[in-house]
Amino acid sequence: MKIFYVLFFILVSSPSMSHECVLQGTSAKEITIYNSCKADKSKIKSSNKDLNNMLLKKQLKKLKRENNNLKNQLLDLKIRLSNILNRINSYID
């Protein structure tokens, strides 16, 4: 899965691979080519945005699970420390 993330970010963030739409002139044909280029780029950006959102949601779920596990571990440590303190206090008293 990590390979997928790396490949995705390389492809999305690589400006050398992207094609810039440049209006070459004012004729109807050149304007149509320019407009279709812009439309194609907006479709690619939209699909990249959807994919990025999906990856972010997966990462968020993973982080929430990890956070819950860490909270449980912390609670377990608190209980253990409380037990140890109670034992120490029982020996002192």
List, in order, residues 6 or more apart from 21 with CB less than 8 Å away: 34, 37, 38, 41
Query: By three-state DSSP, how is residue 24 classified?
Result: coil
CA distance 78 to 28: 73
Would you give the DSSP letter of residue 15?
Answer: G
Report the pLDDT averaged over residues 65-81.
97
Q: What is the dihedral of CA 59, 60, 61, 64, to 10 degrees?
A: 120
pLDDT digits (tens, 9 = 90+) for 12-58: 555 444 568 888 888 888 888 888 888 877 767 666 777 788 889 99
Give the per-residue pLDDT at 69.
97
Q: pTM score, two decimals?
A: 0.47
